[in-house]
Structure 1
């Protein structure tokens, strides 16, 4: 067996370029060249986009913006329900933001709509807008209905969409901006909205004041009732429990104090009477000392009797000097003296009985007073808890009375302040909007710049995406960079060479045409290819998928080499879909299958091309196992025998993804030519086919692009000598 099946050395070469390792990255330069190649399309897209931009700019409705400015002040003129009068708070960030939220909430929009009758303007009422030509046509055809009347909420949304509220830097100034298609209307909207805001603030402040004063009045009425009820409860409790109030205490307590004082005084008086009675009794017992008592001294009768006694004693003493005791006058005087003493004794006894009666009366009085004091003390022990309850009722009544007085004072102050601030607002209009002189949008110059930039980028983006997403190979650089295999050349897409038969006939019919020249460049690569420092002898022509033009390339290459004087055999090894016979215009006959199976000799199976000196071995009949047949030793022996007879053996093999024989054939041949449809065959499919071939053999594979658009290729490729 010859060295046709030997492994190639590292010095093997095939193709006309120095190649780097395979890479699937997209080369930006390839994309740029592809974009430049499509500059006409790029220009058309740019013109289209720019035209759309100009139409968009011309169709834009001018919009005018007017601004009114209001200044937010600290809130005054409001009456609080619960707080006392305080200094008005300063307008802080939160308060200003709250006012901004009020302005943007839409609460004032319904009043603005009603005041300016915005629902009757087409700008704010879509149902009043005149339909365009397309809308009229659609309505006429019944495709689109006439617009129904819009709701007030929709109109309010239209107004809100044209309103913007901004706070000017860190100040207390708020700008009210309105945009409109009409300059005067924009100014009117801004000014009216500011006036409505001020008016609403005044009405809200008055409503708040009215609410607060009404609440205070209701509280005062309630407190009046509570004060009356609590005071009546105090008086009723006093009456029921006898707790009548004196200057500093209750009546029972005052009575107890007085009785206690009277009892002490009565006991002192009784002691005096008892002492006098005891003294009188003692003096009576001592006979004669009774005259020294106060009662005796103060009794006129006893003193008169004592004087009479003294006179009688003096008379008796006078009689005793001249008369005997038995003298009648002496006896009469003695009798009168005895009678007088008896009267004095009786009077003294009366005085003692009087003192005894006085002492008895004093004792009885003290007894009665003690009973009364004891009763009052018993009652006071019961009235202690009642006094506690009474004081609680009094405190409640006093608290209600104090609260009532406070609410009355606050009500009077609130009424006075509400009346004084009835027309005050917490904001003032600083600047009224004027009619704008020019529209705020659109900015024609900026819009044209934007349209130009958008058209440029849009057209570039579309062309870029078209090229970036293009599935196939377009340039030699793409082939070599993404496959790592040599680029062998290109086959132009010509009308007469689009079929396999037309391609094979083109090199004969037009030997100096574009197809023939492309095939000569491929022939040159084959002739210059080396394996182990020797020329290659066997060439496999295949493709990743079918319909890539491999059979036409194989037939054209074989005919061209035969015309060049080489002994060439074209071997049809596509046992499943044989195309060599129809490509070269031959009748089907015995072929490779019969030769390998021993059913026919090579001399009987080989045929000669009627247009050249090319010898042809067709595929022959169907084989039950084409892969096994082409991988057999007989196939190796056959190729060995053929290279002994022919200078070159060109093998038309099956597509890699269509059958499994292509990897087996690549092991038996020196080099492989893979035909790839220019710009159509998916790159991943090609790379996968190359991996299949690399897994089966280390033989060199070259890429040959077929069906190339010469005009686009010349713009894409750096080298245009291929076409």
Structure 2
């Protein structure tokens, strides 16, 4: 038979509990001693530190970032003035707090020789100094220079005493310094302000000098580059015949001249051709040549024409006087023919000259045209070279522009040297403080109180977090999601002077709160467990020493006192402690019944205090292998179910022994006992895991040995919270008694 399953209250993983003020108060109540101890310790430390603290004085110098800038020259500054916006002001506050500025102050004021900042100088009087004060040792003449590590420590000490703050959203910055000496505090605060302003001037001066040097160096490079580029341009012009005059290249000028010469030559050819054609047409028409236009201007022709005219007159004169055969007439005619022949010859010579002149003009025209073609070819070549020339000239022009820009900026920068202004100015020097600024007793006490309360609360929270045990019903249901079925009080917490054992106390004081806890436990098991009746209850625990046997005995006796038929079976094969717990001496036991050597009725022993029956494990009985997995156990449990109202199986712990898991499968209800605030919750978790691995679900968890006084401080969410309210309801034995009530009745 499987264990009876019970369902715990619904659990929501994403549930966030509200702050429980009463729960917090309960935590504080149960951890009050720890809380008060931590609070007292922290408060004592704060008070002691305040009393022993050395008084210190704070002096404050005031500087202001000036958004206005003075400009002597019209040129822009190399390092522009700071814009006085909020991030810049905050940045300057960080600059004032920088270690670099603190180191400069240390060096300027030689603070490494001040014992207030140099811990090495704070040492007590040495043997040499004591002897020197007594005149028994010479004075030291040499002092050792501080090491870099010591200087670093001095700078750290100075920085810790420096406070820099901005006055609201203004441009004003307050520089405060704290020192044991008020005058020293004022001097150091002023030094921070002065060196801060000086540092700004130095930064601008150094920036100007760096810019001037950089520009000068760059100018030399640009000058050499410009010279190289311009030389390359000129050399390229020479190599490619791109020299120019009057805005045009020589080739372009040659082409222009050739064009003019060609036009003139062609015009001359046309003129010579026209004159030759005219003369040839006139000769072709039968002219004797004396009327040809080109002959009219010939002196020879004119002379021959005059001679012919003279001869013609003589011939005409002779014709009137002589016959044609007259010798003189014949001679005159012959002379006329000779003159005509000379005119014709001279005319032909002139025409030949025209032809020769035309040929010369044509050859001259061809020569000019050839030269023009060559010049045009050269111009085409020059055009291709001009693309490269344009590139070289652009490079040269760019170099010149860049060089001139750098030259102008260099001259502007040079004029700024020595004219820089700081972006901050000193508004007020530090005044000599008249009262110490620390320790601030009211503030220290307030902070100490807050720290003490916080430390106390932290200690309480840490103690609660480190508590590995199970304390409340909420712990059970939250951590394990298993039903909480009750709490068994620690007997000493409800009966201060009880001398009886718990098992005997249940019988001797049936109306006590201790006994009521077991009656309540039985009710939780029997009436609220499952859909079917619960008769067989397996009582187990995660670890030994949890009180499971005592719980089983007390549960059985309490039920027997109520009139139920109860049998308590010892199933812990290793401890076999039920006989001792109930003070019985059994001759036969469980194993004898299981192996069939003894009848059940002979092995049952009656409890001397109640009507409960006991089936024990005798010490002489041998232990067979897998005793609880046998059919004999099933038959025995079936018989016990028929004979008793409640069968309680006192089993072994779950973690060290597997027997309890076997028996748990046969029980109707599995009760897991955990010792209050002692059993680690990890052990309980592992026990539940092992049971679940055996297909067994724990019916409930009972907390054992609960200190009810302390449990009542765990918050109103636990039933024990109301213990003080209902404890008087129970009839407890008098404090002077041995734990027995006797015949007294219970108070309702």
Identify the residue that residue 338 of structure 1 maps to in structure 2: 337
Distance 1:257 1:27 in 2: 113
2:512 and 2:731 in contact (8 A); partners too: no
Match of 1:428 among 407, 425, 433: 425
1:66 and 1:433 in contact (8 A); partners too: yes
Structure 2 residue runs without a partner (length 5+): 1-21, 127-145, 470-485, 501-508, 517-545, 548-576, 589-600, 614-649, 652-677, 679-701, 712-728, 738-748
Confirm or deny that 1:633 pairs with 2:633.
Answer: no
Confirm or deny that 1:382 pairs with 2:381.
Answer: yes
State the secondary structure of the residue aligned to 2:55.
Answer: coil
Confirm or deny that 1:399 pairs with 2:398.
Answer: yes
**Change in 2 beyond 3 A, CA 1:707/1:126:** farther
Identify the residue that residue 706 of structure 2 maps to in structure 1: 687
- 1:362-373 matches, within 5 Å, as 362-373=361-372
- 1:636-715 matches, within 5 Å, as 685-687=704-706
**Change in 2 beyond 3 A, CA 1:639/1:332:** closer
What are the superposed Cα offsets for residues 482-502 of structure 1, whole Å, 9 maximum, x if unpaired?
Answer: 969899999888xxxx999xx
Distance 1:242 1:464 in 2: 99
Cα shift at 1:29: 9.0
Identify the residue that residue 354 of structure 1 maps to in structure 2: 353
What are the superposed Cα offsets for residues 478-536 of structure 1, whole Å, 9 maximum, x if unpaired?
Answer: xxxx969899999888xxxx999xxxxxxxxxxxxxxxxxxxxx99999xx9xxxxxxx
State the secondary structure of the residue aligned to 2:176.
Answer: strand
Match of 1:56 among 26, 49, 54: 49
Structure 1 residue runs without a partner (length 5+): 1-24, 134-146, 472-481, 501-521, 530-543, 546-572, 579-591, 599-627, 641-655, 658-679, 691-699, 709-723
**Change in 2 beyond 3 A, CA 1:629/1:264:** farther
Cα shift at 1:56: 2.8
State the secondary structure of the residue aligned to 2:390.
Answer: helix
Aligned length: 508
Match of 2:440 among 431, 439, 443: 443
Cα shift at 1:276: 0.7
Identify the residue that residue 419 of structure 1 maps to in structure 2: 417
1:70 and 1:427 in contact (8 A); partners too: yes
Bigger Cα Rg: 1
What are the superposed Cα offsets for residues 30-71 of structure 1, whole Å, 9 maximum, x if unpaired?
Answer: 987998xx9xx9999999987765543221122222222222
Confirm or deny that 1:309 pairs with 2:302.
Answer: no
Confirm or deny that 1:72 pairs with 2:65.
Answer: yes
**Change in 2 beyond 3 A, CA 1:451/1:384:** closer
2:512 and 2:730 in contact (8 A); partners too: no
Cα shift at 1:114: 0.5
State the secondary structure of the residue aligned to 2:705.
Answer: helix
Distance 1:271 1:211 in 2: 79
Identify the residue that residue 126 of structure 1 maps to in structure 2: 119
Distance 1:126 1:707 in 2: 68
1:490 and 1:705 in contact (8 A); partners too: no
- Give the alignment's TM-score, normalised by structure 1: 0.57
Distance 2:732 2:461 in 1: 25
- 1:278-317 matches, within 5 Å, as 278-288=277-287, 290-317=289-316
Distance 1:705 1:273 in 2: 169
1:49 and 1:455 in contact (8 A); partners too: yes
1:489 and 1:704 in contact (8 A); partners too: no
Distance 1:32 1:97 in 2: 49
**Change in 2 beyond 3 A, CA 1:284/1:51:** closer
2:201 and 2:422 in contact (8 A); partners too: yes
Match of 1:114 among 85, 95, 107: 107
Match of 2:94 among 78, 101, 115: 101
Distance 1:54 1:457 in 2: 16
Identify the residue that residue 190 of structure 2 maps to in structure 1: 191
What are the superposed Cα offsets for residues 238-269 of structure 1, whole Å, 9 maximum, x if unpaired?
Answer: 22222222333322233233223322321221
**Change in 2 beyond 3 A, CA 1:75/1:208:** farther
- Give the alignment's TM-score, normalised by structure 2: 0.55
After superposition, the CA RMSD in angstroms is 5.7
Cα shift at 1:636: 6.5
Cα shift at 1:458: 8.8
Identify the residue that residue 166 of structure 2 maps to in structure 1: 167
Cα shift at 1:356: 1.3
